Amino acid sequence: MTDKSKRVPSSRISRLAHLGGLASKVASNVVLSGAKQVLSGQSVSKKELLLQPKNVHAIADKLAHLRGAAMKLGQLVSMDAGDLLPKELAVLLEKLRADAQPMPHKQLVQLLKQNWGPNWLDKFSHLELRSFARASIGQVHEATTESGDKLALKIQYPGVANSIDSDVDNVAMLIKMSGLIPKQVVIDPLIEEAKQQLLVETDYFAEGLRLQEFREGLKSYPAYRVPNFYPQYSTGSILAMEYVVGKDLTCYDGASQTQRDKIATDLIRLFFIEMFELGAIQSDPNLANYLYDDKMQQVVLLDFGASRTINTSLAQGYWSLLRAGQTYDKDAMTDAIYEIGYFSDDIDDAYRDIVLELFFMATEPLRAKQPFDFSESDIAVRIRDKGMDLSTRERQWHTPPVDALFIHRKLAGLYLIAARLRARVEVSDLFSQFVKPACKVEK
C-alpha cells in the first residue's frame, strides 16, 4: 500500500512559497495552452485556460498538501453544494476533499510530544498512528486510555492557526482570478469573517467546551447523540472525545424511504432546536459532520468547531420570519427581515423585493400541505439563480449580517442533505412544535 502522507508546511514562509509556486505553475500552463490554441486557430478564453484539467489538479493537490485554512476556505465557499456551483469549481472542491493527505508519522509524533510531553504514550494503552478520518484542519486517530475508554483524537495540522491570514488571502486571490465568482459580489467582508471563524475553529479545547454544551442541551432529545468530551487529554491543538460508532449518511442512499425520511427529519428538527432552544448552531452542515447509529436510531453529531451563538433577538427575528413564510404573510416577513437587520432604511425597493422573494423560496417547505418531497424540488437551484440575479446589482449589493449568512448556510446545507437522501419531511409540523423565544430577564 502506497504511503500518501506528506509533511505539512508549518511556517508562513514555507506555506507562502508553496502557494507562490502554484501561481507560477498555473500561469505557465495558461500561457502555453493559450499559445497552442491560438496557433491552431482555436478561440480561447481566460476562464477556459485557467480551468483546464491540469490546473484544477495542480490547485487541488497544492491545497490538499497545505491543508488548514486553504482547504477550509474551499469548504466555506462550497457549502457542500456542488450543484449550486460552476462545475469546474465543484470538481476542484470535490477533489480537494477526497485528496486530504495524512501527516507523516514522524511529524505526528512530534506534535504529540509538543502537546503532551515526552512521556505522552503513558496516557494510553494504545494509540493508532494511522488516522481513520481527515478534515480541513486536522486528522482523527483512535486511542484507548489506560482505564479502557475508547477515544477519537482530533489532531490539528501544524501551522494552521499562524497561517490563517496568508492562506485565506492567497486562496481568495485564486478564487477571484478564476472568474467563477461574479465581479459584483463583494466577498472581502466575507473573507474577513472566514478568517475570524477559522481562528475560532483552531482552538480545539474551546470546541470541546462547545461539544459539552451541546451534549447538555440535547440530553432530553434521544434522537441525537453527542460524544463525551475528555478535557484531561485535550489541548488547543488536540480534541479528545468519546469514540462513537455509526455509518456515514452517504451509506443511506439505498435505504428505505422511512429511514431516509427519519434522518432528514431529525436533522431539520435539530436546526429548530438550535435556533429556538439552545441559542447556538453548528453552522457547517457537512455530510462528514454526522453519523447515524442504526441500532439506537440516533444522529451522531461530531464537529462543533463552526458553532456560533445566536442571541435571543436574532432568534426571535428568525422565528417571526419562518412563521410569516409558513402563513404566506409578506408584510410580516418584511418586518421580520428588518428586525433581523438584513435591510437598512434606505434599501432599494427592487433589491428588497428580490431578497423577499428569496426568503419566500427558502420557506417553501413550510407551506407544504403534505410532507415536502426534497427529491422532487428544485428549490436549491431556484435560490441559486435568484441569488445570482441579486449579485449582478452592483450598486445595490448589500452584505447581509454575518450571523444571518451562517444561519442560511446551515439551512441550505440541510436542504441539500435532504435532497441527497430523497427525503420527505413534514417541515411545517416540525416548526410548529417551537414557540418564539422569550427575552431573557437579567438577574
Q: Output 167 or 200, whichever has higher pLDDT.
A: 200
- What's the pLDDT score for residue 41? 43
For the ranges 92-101, 110-119, 235-244, 432-441, which has the lowest average pLDDT? 92-101
What's the pLDDT tens digit per position in 4-14? 555 554 444 45
The mean pLDDT value of the chain amounts to: 78
Q: Which span out of 67-76, 86-95, 99-108, 239-248 was modeled with the highest average pLDDT?
A: 239-248
59 pLDDT more than 50: yes
- Cα torsion 367, 372, 373, 379 to 10°: value is 40
- What's the pLDDT score for residue 304? 92
Measured between alpha carbons, how far is 229 from 215 in angstroms, rounded to an integer? 9
- What's the pLDDT score for residue 186? 59
The active-site residue out of 284, 293, 331, 378 is 284
Give, in order, the Cα–Cα distances in Å from 134 to each of 3, 114, 251: 15, 21, 18
* 8 Å CB contact between 53 and 145: no
Measured between alpha carbons, how far is 390 from 381 in angstroms, rounded to an integer? 14
- What's the pLDDT score for residue 270? 98
Residue linked to cell 504529540: 112
Read off the C-alpha cell for 139: 486528522
37 pLDDT more than 50: no
pTM for the model: 0.80
Q: Output 238 or 184, whichever has higher pLDDT.
A: 238
What's the pLDDT tens digit per position in 338-356? 888 887 777 778 778 888 8
428 pLDDT more than 60: yes
* 183 — pLDDT class (breaks 50, 70, 90): low
What residue ranges do the domains of the chain occupy? 12-103+160-199, 246-443
* 40 — pLDDT class (breaks 50, 70, 90): very low
Q: Which residues contact 410 (CB under 8 A, 6 or more apart)?
A: 271, 281, 282, 283, 284, 285
DSSP H or E stretch at residue 145: strand 138-145
Q: What is the mean pLDDT of residues 388-392?
A: 58
* 171 — pLDDT class (breaks 50, 70, 90): low
For the ranges 155-159, 162-166, 211-215, 387-391, which has the lowest average pLDDT? 387-391
DSSP 151: E
- What's the pLDDT score for residue 273? 98
DSSP 140: E
- What's the pLDDT score for residue 160? 79
Q: To 5 degrees, how large is the angle CA 40–CA 41–CA 43?
A: 120
For the ranges 64-68, 156-160, 229-233, 379-383, which has the lowest average pLDDT? 64-68
- Cα torsion 147, 153, 156, 157 to 10°: value is 100
**pLDDT above 90: percentage of residues in the chain:** 43
Q: What is the DSSP string of 207-260?
A: HHHHHHHHHHHTTT-TTEE-PPB-GGG--SSEEEEE----EEGGGGTTS-HHHH
Q: Output 98 or 214, whichever has higher pLDDT.
A: 214
What's the pLDDT tens digit per position in 284-311? 888 888 999 999 999 999 989 889 999 9
Residue closest to 271 by CA, chosen among 366, 166, 204, 178: 366
* 236 — pLDDT class (breaks 50, 70, 90): very high
What's the pLDDT tens digit per position in 249-264? 999 999 999 999 999 9
* 134 — pLDDT class (breaks 50, 70, 90): confident
What residue spans of 67-187 are helical by DSSP H?
A: 68-78, 87-98, 105-116, 164-178
* 114 — pLDDT class (breaks 50, 70, 90): very high
Please, which residues bridge with residue 345 across strands? none
- What's the pLDDT score for residue 72? 57
266 is known as an active-site residue:
no
What's the pLDDT tens digit per position in 394-423? 555 556 677 887 888 888 889 889 999 999
What's the pLDDT tens digit per position in 306-342? 899 999 999 999 999 999 999 999 899 999 998 888 8
